[in-house]
Every structure is written in structure tokens, then in C-alpha cells.
A and B are shown apart, each in its own frame.
Chain A
Amino acid sequence: MSDVVLDVQNLCVEFPTRKGLLTAVDGISLQIQRGEILGMVGESGAGKSMTGMSILGLLEPPGRIAAGSIHLSGDRIDDLDDRAMQAVRGRRIGAIFQDPLTSLNPLFRVGDQLVETIRLHTDLDKPAARERARELMREVGIPAVEERIDSYPHQFSGGMRQRIVIALALCAEPELIVADEPTTALDVSIQAQITALLKRLCRERGTAVMLVTHDMGVIAETADRVAVMYAGRLAEIGAVDDVVRRPQHPYTKGLMGSIPSLRTDVEELQMIPGSMPRLNAIPPGCAFNPRCAHAGPRCREEVPRIARGDITGAACWLAQAGTTLTPGEAA
């Protein structure tokens, strides 16, 4: 058996709209190994959540997978029907979303929701499931579990709700966890608890994790590899140290430059000029070319891609030519 838990090949997601077809994800290929955390970063609207939703089989119509394949530990899952996919989702893939309210039912006590999910995916009886629910709540750092187990979701703070969602995702001990900005609204100490929890799951249970986040600090301390998305495409992928310290793609460079520093003071943060193109107005060639200081004629005609099967690389003509990038240089 190979160690590849998630294998996404040439994934394309499109939305038919009144004004034609929008391609939200355009030919993404990536793999996650057993026990590995792949970080996903990129411009807001770049297609990170769509990629995650495709893997979970939760794309909302009219959105649809237009091409490509998704395999989970060797089993193809992108062509399963709704019922089969629902079983995979609960048992084999756990989901943690940015908005905890999408995963919690406001009308039920959190303890009951946990017990129900545990019983759906395991054969524990009610008292055992309740004990397991307590354990999971403790594991994700809910204080005074006895007092809070019968509370309703709205009685928790944003961060505590998210921890309940994580407990829900862990109920069935899945092979893969897709975590879409799980720590976005959490303070640093809870964030550290949750990333430590994810890391422990990877190490101890061999869980593979796709971690979508905007927080580069979290990526640097949690992920093994990182994928950078821009306008529906993969801009760069590689080992976390390489991407953070020696980014190859001009967009990744810009991204790293705009992070507020803990050491130096600046009046204005560095910005990448302009904004990401609308999905219906992606320029020909490299999607980043209107904002890129290095853009040359080839960039405006041909789409640069990371060769399929490559585990590191940058979708950039200049980087692929082996040139080191310095600002202002034109290809």
C-alpha cells in the first residue's frame, strides 16, 4: 500500500453563470502523504475552499467538478453518488470549516451533537459515546467540560465553538482532515493548542491534513509542505522552509513581504499593487502578469504550469528558467 492518502490530479471546478462559464479551480494537482500536513495559502478568492469542498464532495450546485480526479488512499471518490460520499465524509474525511456555525446545529446541545455523531460512525452505546464526547471536548481544550457539555452553540465564544467543531471532526478518527481556516478567529494560545492537536494527530494516528490558512506563522510552524494558489491555479508548491524563505514565484514573494513584522516598524505595509483578476477576466498567459514587475512577452501568452507529479515547483516562466528574482527586473 502506498502512503499517499490524498491524490488530486488536474482538478477543475467551474460555475455556469448567466454570463458564461467561470473556472474557479483550474488544473490543480497535489498529493498528501500519511502523517503529512499540507498548508494551503493564497489570495482570498483564489479557490482554496473550492478545492477543499471538491475533496469533501460538498460543492454547491451550480458549482461542479469539470475535470480531473480525486483519490483517497487509492479509492476514487470524486465520482461517488451523494450517499456513498456522505459515508466517506463522516468516517474517512473530517471537515473543519472557517465558520463553526455551518457545522453546528443551533437547536441542540453540543454534547448531544457529539454523541450523535460518534454513534453514527462507531458502535459505541450511548453512555460510552457520552464518555468519548467528554474526552474529545477535553482534548480540544474546552474548560469545565461537565458544566459546558449541555450548553448550546450560541453560549460559546467563537473560539470555543470552533473547538467543538474540531471535536466533531475527530469523532470517527478519519484518514484525512480538511481544515479550512480552523484557527482564523482564534487567539494565539488556542491557535497553538489546535495546531499542536493537529500535529499530534498526524504523528500518532498518521492522519493526513490539508490546512487552509492565511496565517503564515501558523504555516511555518505547522505545515510540512505548502501550496500557494492564485486565481484558481497553483502558483507554487514545496517544502515549507523553501517556500517561506526562498519563494520562487513573484506572487509568493509579494505575499511574504506584506506580513506585518514583529520586529520592525513601518508606517505602511508592503502591498502587491492591484488586485486578483475576476474569474471572468483572467488575462491570457500567467494570471499574475498584470501585477508582476517581471512580466515579459511570454508571460502574456502562455500559461506557466508546475509539471504534473512534481512535488516542488513554481508556475512562473522566470523561475523555471532558473533566474533568481530581484524586484524591477523584466524578463
Chain B
Amino acid sequence: MTLRNNAILEVDALERRFDVSAPWLNRLIERKPRKTLRAVDGVDFVIQRGQTLALVGESGCGKSTIAKLVTGLHSPSGGSIRFHGDRDRLQMIFQDPFASLNPRWRVARIIAEPLRTLSPDTPEAEVSARVDELLRTVGLAPADGLKFPHEFSGGQRQRISIARALAGDPEFLVCDEPTSALDVSVQAQVLNLMKRLQKKMDLTYLFISHDLSVVRHMADVIAVMYLGRIVEIQPTADLFANPLHPYTGLLLETIPNLEAPKRDRSPMVGEVPSPVSPPSGCSFHPRCPRAFDRCKTERPQRSAKVHNRRVACFAAEQGAPDVQ
């Protein structure tokens, strides 16, 4: 219980469904039923203040949807999100730097916006000094503030959105693929900056990235998602040393490795199942090398008896120590 006391975010049984039915006229004529897509399907996690929790998992598994639920851009269809911080100081860096910057505003105005919202009385000179400083912080020049977003490359635009997020003096940052548009040397600068800021200002990050070497460097805890659910959640070092879920194991094997490139690396077998009609039982069973009968009918849950709630998998239950 003592651990929970320092939680800044507690997510319980979180659900988000989308209606993806055909238009009602088609449904009427073609007699198609209503269709719901469970993008987030019962997700639990806690983030401690000052820590980084990373969400990883296949494209479409619901990571961005969780990010948008936490920031309030989507409303939950079920479950709860409890944020024990200052909502005004919760900021987000979006996956898509193209869509998230107002094309008609100059960069300086874009970056200043959260600052002006947070403290409208800030003198203009102070705002512009802060904007210049933020531009420098993310490796751009104060003169760039006068330009429009379209005058920048993809990676430069991502730095603008990072500067904007930092302008809001955040205590909690939701970062959806913050560096995937950056080259590795700028990425190193941004990640080092994020780590330094975290230490200095006790920042908390919900960090989404498909790059597992980046996640390994940044995260204290990693949650692995599959089809809207968390199938494994462990401290970073434990997850890499001892992945408990078969999907995590396959994921780790699929990482393109610079140190030992495998040119004939084969993608994970099987078709990614549809979240509209997920497989029965454990939704990973059609692709799982360890699946057995029970997996097809019953849904594994994370329980206190199995690796202390770290994994949802029947195979991992067998011989699992009773950690309390």
C-alpha cells in the first residue's frame, strides 16, 4: 500500500469502445449488425510520481487511445482514471506533429500558447524570453520562432511540439512517439533533455514508443499491450531479462538489432487479429507458440498469484512462484 501513496495516475478497468458500424442506411438495406471496436479493453496501471511508464505493443493495440483518454481528448466508455496532479500541468506530445501544429500560427505563438493559458498575466517580454529559451532547449534557434510550421522538416516540427509541451510547465507529460520522427543524434539530445528535466523537476512520463531500445533507456516500468489489454507489466530490467508473456518474448526477438543484424529476420507469424471480433479466450492464442486448449476458451487475467500480477497468461502460471 505504501507504494500507491505516491501514485500520480491510477487507471482502473479502463475501457474505450468505438462504434464502427456501417452507416445506418447500409445496415438497414444489407442487414448488417452494429459493430463495436474495443480499442481499450479493461486496462489497469499505476504511475508513481517522477517515474516513467512505457506502453509498447503492436500498431493498433490501443496505445494512442490510452494517451488520449488520460489527457481527456477521449472520454472513457468504462472504468476510471484518477489523476492526483494539476490538470493544467498535464501536457501531451502527439504522435503526429503534422496534425497537431496550427499551420496558420507562427512557431513562437504556438509555443507561447500553453504559457499564456496557464498564466495570462505574464508580461510579453517574459513570454518571448521563455519562448527563445525553449527553442534553444530543443535545438532550434530563436529566429525560428518567426517561421510557420510548413517551413520545417518533420523532425524539426516534432521539436516544436516538444517545446510547446514544455512551455506549459508540465508535471505530467504524455509522450506519444516523441522521438520517432527524429534522427538518432537529435533523439539522443531530446531523450537526455527529458531525463534531465525529469530529475530536476520530478516530472512523470507516460511514454509511448515502438522503439524498444529507446523504451529500455527511458522507462522504469514497461506495460506490453495486445489488442486493447495489458498482457504484461514489469520493471524494465526484469522485462528484458525475463519476459513472462510469449508475445513479449516474440516482440523482443523482432527488434532490429544494429549490433547483430539479422537480414533474414522473419516477421511474427499470423495475422494481427481484428479488434472488432477478437479471438476467443486469450486473444493471442492464434499466434502463440505455447497455446493449449484452455487458451481458446478462457481469458487469462493478471492475478496476485501469478508473478505478482505481472502477466496475463496460462502458460506463465505453470510453475510460477507465489510472489506477494
Give me the interface of A with B, judged by CB distance under 8 Å: 41-46, 49, 98-99, 101-102, 141, 143-144, 147-148, 150-151, 155-160, 181, 184-193, 195-196, 214-218, 220-222, 244, 254-256, 258-263, 266-272, 275, 278
Contacts and interface: CB of A to CB of B under 8 A. Distances in A.
Contact of A101 (B98, B267, B268): B98
Nearest to A189: B268
B185 A189 contact: no
B122 interface: no
A143 B274 contact: yes
B257 A262 contact: yes
Contact of B212 (A254, A262, A267, A275): A262
Interface residues of B, number: 68
A221 B261 contact: yes
A148 B259 CA distance: 38
B96 A189 contact: no
Given A98-B154, A143-B273, A44 B183 contact: yes
Contact of B272 (A101, A143, A270): A143
B95 A262 contact: no
B263 interface: yes
Interface in B205-227: 210-214, 216-217
B256 A187 contact: no
A258 B96 contact: no
Contacts of B259: 261-263
Given A143-B274, A185-B177, A196-B266, 5 more contacts: A189-B58, A216-B184, A217-B256, A222-B263, A262-B212
Interface string B249-277: 01100111111011101111001111011
B265 A270 contact: no
7 contacts: A188-B251, A190-B58, A191-B210, A192-B254, A261-B213, A269-B217, A271-B185
A275 B217 contact: no
B316 interface: no
Contacts of B3: none
B22 interface: yes
B99 interface: yes
B180 A147 contact: no
B105 to A, nearest CB: 19
A59 B18 CA distance: 38
B280 interface: no
Nearest to A150: B22
Contacts of B182: 44, 214
B187 interface: yes
B152 interface: yes
Nearest to A152: B20
A258 B274 CA distance: 37
Contacts of A261: 213, 259
Contacts of B251: 187-189
Nearest to B255: A188
A49 B154 contact: yes
B211 A215 contact: yes
B118 interface: no
Contacts of A195: 256
B188 interface: yes
B42 interface: no
Contacts of A141: 271-272
Contacts of A188: 210-212, 251, 254-256
B22 A186 contact: no
Given A185-B95, A185-B210, A214 B183 contact: yes
A259 B213 contact: yes
A216 B228 CA distance: 29
B143 to A, nearest CB: 8
A327 to B, nearest CB: 15
Interface in B116-156: 139, 141, 143, 152-156
Contacts of A256: 258
A262 B58 contact: no
A254 B268 contact: no
A189 B251 CA distance: 7
A217 B60 contact: no
A271 B95 CA distance: 24
A233 to B, nearest CB: 15
B59 interface: yes
Contacts of B263: 221-222
B64 interface: yes
B262 to A, nearest CB: 6
A263 to B, nearest CB: 7
B64 A158 contact: yes
B217 A260 contact: yes
B195 to A, nearest CB: 7
Nearest to A151: B20
Best-surrounded residue of A141, A150, A186, A258 (most CB of chain B within 10 A):
A258
A275 B136 CA distance: 10
Nearest to A184: B180
B298 to A, nearest CB: 23
B308 interface: no
